[in-house]
Structure 1
Amino acid sequence: MTVASVMVFVDPAQQAEEQVRVARSVATKFQASLIGVSAFAVEPDFVGEGVVIQETTPEDLKRMKAELAEKERWFRDVVGLPKERVEWRWDVEYPVAFLANEARAADLVVIRNMYRKVDPYHLVDPAAAVLRIGRPTVLVPERVHELRADRIVVGWKDTREARLAIHDALPFLKQASQVSIIEICTSNEQDRARRGVRDVARHLQRHGAKAETDVRVHTAESDAHQLVRLAKDAGADLIVTGAYGHSRLGEWVFGGMTRGLMDEAPFCLMMSH
């Protein structure tokens, strides 16, 4: 895999620049094009006692479209890349649905990490995005403006999602000065885990990555907290992992490790599903 195009979602009313600057740093790292996308949906009319109290008018729709188009100027000013390397796409549509549709044009998608209940009319729910868009996704926390990815931690377990994450992250892993492949397991699984991470390390080394391995046993702290702590100790600014989740009654539900990382990580996460 190569990274030739990076896509980033921009909230229509956004003023903070974190995930846009991270997307720019990734595009610069790989000399990739950068695609900004933005959308918000028309909220349904509010009806009280049989009377329409709030109704979207043609003027409202015109104003919404103008706001989305105007956001392009802000986006281009922030990224500061040559015009031919930057593209802007927008629509009056649900943000996650629009992003999932447009992601066909990207190798990698960058979004803000807001793992809490979000407004589905204006914001991208990262849980829904990661599980729907079919592209590796970088989740950017608050106050992070750059992704150097010089030291990377891989949260490993021998699953389809983790294998996909390793493959998707290869462009980053090959350029990193240090890649730590970490599996957290029970005490009686250590031999099996060591064999597995050694295989992964050799696989990455054949691709030119500088990979090392580490097997840890579950402790009283959560696995997510332990992995974040180990990443901090390694001086990493990126954790690569599979995303484990499903939809239940319209709600996107994550497994404990995935949810914990999204809640706790103070640096970028790269997830594949």
Structure 2
Amino acid sequence: MSFKTIVAILQSEQDAGRVLDCAIPLATGLQSHLVGIHAESVPVPYTSATGFPDTEFLQVSAEMNKERAEKLQALFLKRVEGSGLSFEWRSLETFSGDSGLSGISTVRAADLVVAAQSESGGDGNADVGSLVYDAGRPVLVVPHAGPVVTTFKTVLLAWNGTREAARAAFDALPFILAADKTEVFVVDPPDNQDDDGTAGSEIAAALARHGANVSVAVRKADGASVEDVIQSRMTETGADLLVLGAYSHSWLRRLLFGGVTQSVLRSGTVAAFLSR
């Protein structure tokens, strides 16, 4: 298995460069077909003081949208033309203007989606959380700061025994096999871990059969949040990729307490591979 179709979500000029810094080397190394997607929102008419639609506003909005879309298309083409890559560009116009969600039919036909981490309070961010939830395909989230890494040497697989974690582990297999080492990391395993395999030994053995270099580590949270424990372990191991089963808890728990997925999407410091 390999990632033969990669979709790059280019929502704004601020995130496009980092997304392409990740997607293009990946597509080149894997000899993948690269699809760039950008969406603009349909201008919403405002009523003037006389009660008629503000046509001037609509025209200005449409021109600004067109200019932004053309800039991102030009950036994409400049980066990929002459690279030898198989590629295509898709420019969309929808009511949401969200490049990931607007291009969901293309996303669902991809092996891997590359999107930028949403900056807290940033304008024009794609809704990466909804993209991860709805895509049905793995999403590689590029952090908004720090170096962009595309050759992952140390992978941390956050394992809690859920279907989402299992999906992420096997979706990420190309990266896991290419890495020097992968650690299956378990936080607060249940008392019956020997029966249900959530301590990580079974998934580690399964990955090892594919040829991965895998180890297992188990930690108690001891009152700390799971996301903080994972982040600390990322620092300890020097991991450059976090593999995570996204949204593995109920919506009510996420609403009340947040979750690891939201923390990664908001403030993760390394690339994160999310699947569900």
Do the two structures share a fold, i.e. TM-score over 0.5? yes
Equivalents in 2 of 1:84, 1:252: separation in Å? 42
Q: Which one has the bigger strand percentage?
A: 1
Alignment correspondent of 1:75: 76
**Structure 1 residues 246 and 130, CA gap change in structure 2 (3 angstroms):** farther
Measure, in 1, the Cα distance between the counterparts of 2:25 and 2:249.
31
The secondary structure found in structure 2 opposite 1:154 is strand
Aligned-pair CA distance for 1:263: 3.2
Over residues 129-151 of structure 1, what are the superposed CA-to-partner deviations in whole Å (9 max), with x where a residue is unaligned?
Answer: 11111110011112332222111
Letter paired with 2:236: D
Q: Which residue of 1 aligns with 2:111?
A: 107
CA–CA distance in structure 2, aligned partners of residues 67 and 57 of structure 1: 15
Taking the aligned partners of 2:15 and 2:262, their CA distance within structure 1 comes to 26
1:116-163 Cα shifts (integer Å, max 9, x gaps): 4665xx531111111111110011112332222111000001111111
Of stretches 184-193 and 220-229 in structure 1, the one that deviates more from structure 2 is: 184-193
Aligned match of 1:85? 86
Structure 1 CA distance for aligned equivalents of residues 250 and 203 of structure 2? 30
CA, structure 1 residues 245+205, in 2 after alignment: closer, same or farther (shift >3 Å)? Answer: closer
Q: Quote the RMSD (CA, aligned, Å).
A: 3.1
1:151–1:177 CA contact under 8 A, matched in 2: yes
Paired residue type of 1:110: V
- In structure 2, relative to structure 1, the CA distance for the partners of 1:116 and 1:33 (3 Å cut) is same
Choose 189-198 or 210-219, whichever is displaced more.
Answer: 189-198
Partner Cα distance (2:229, 2:159) in 1? 13
**8 Å Cα contact 1:184/1:217 also seen in 2:** yes
Deviates more, 1:41-50 or 1:178-187: 41-50
Match of 2:230 in 1: 227
Structure 1: how far apart are the matches of 2:2 and 2:31?
A: 11
1:29 correspondence with 2:32:
no
- Structure-to-structure mapping, 1:115-194, within 5 angstroms: 116=120, 122-143=124-145, 144-185=147-188, 188=191, 191=194
Aligned positions of 1:47-62 closer than 5 A: 47=47, 51=51, 54-55=54-55, 57=58, 60-61=61-62
Partners of 2:249 and 2:38 in 1: how far apart? 25
Q: Secondary structure in 1 aligned to 2:103? A: helix
2:257 and 2:13 map into 1 onto residues whose CA distance is: 28
In the superposition, relative to structure 1, how do residues 204 and 15 fare at CA in structure 2: closer, same or farther (>3 Å)?
closer
Percent of aligned positions with the same letter in both sequences?
26
Query: Could you tell me which residue of structure 2 aligns to residue 238 of structure 1?
Result: 241
**CA offsets per residue over residues 9-52 of structure 1, 9 Å max, x none?**
11244476112101122213322122111111124223477835
Paired residues in the alignment total 269
Aligned partners of 2:34 and 2:87 also within 8 Å: yes
1:97 counterpart residue number: 101
- Normalised by the length of structure 2, the TM-score is 0.84
Deviation of 1:261 after TM superposition, in Å, equals 2.6
Distance apart, 1:66 and its partner CA: 5.0
Secondary structure of residue in 2 paired with 1:166: helix
Distance 1:81 1:141, change over 3 A: farther
- Are residues 214 and 34 of structure 1, via their aligned partners in 2, closer, same or farther at CA, if it must alter by over 3 Å? same
Work out whether residues 136 and 165 of structure 1, in 8 Å CA contact, stay in contact via their aligned partners in 2. yes
After superposition, the Cα gap between the structure-2 partners of 1:150 and 1:80, relative to the gap in structure 1 and judged at 3 Å, is farther
> Is residue 2:265 matched to residue 1:262?
yes
Kept after mapping to 2: 8 A contact 1:194/1:215: no
Query: Scaled by the length of structure 1, what TM-score is found?
Result: 0.85
Name stretches of at least 5 consecutive residues in structure 1 with no aligned partner: none
SS at match of 2:126: coil
List runs of 5+ in structure 2 lacking aligned partners. Answer: none
Residues 201-224 of structure 1: CA deviation (Å, up to 9, x unaligned): 110011111111111112232111
Deviation at 1:87, TM superposition (A): 1.6
Cα pair 2:10 2:16 within 8 Å, conserved: no
In structure 2, relative to structure 1, the CA distance for the partners of 1:253 and 1:76 (3 Å cut) is: farther
Q: Partners in 2 of 1:116 and 1:107 — Cα distance?
A: 28
* 1:132–1:24 Cα change, 3 Å: same
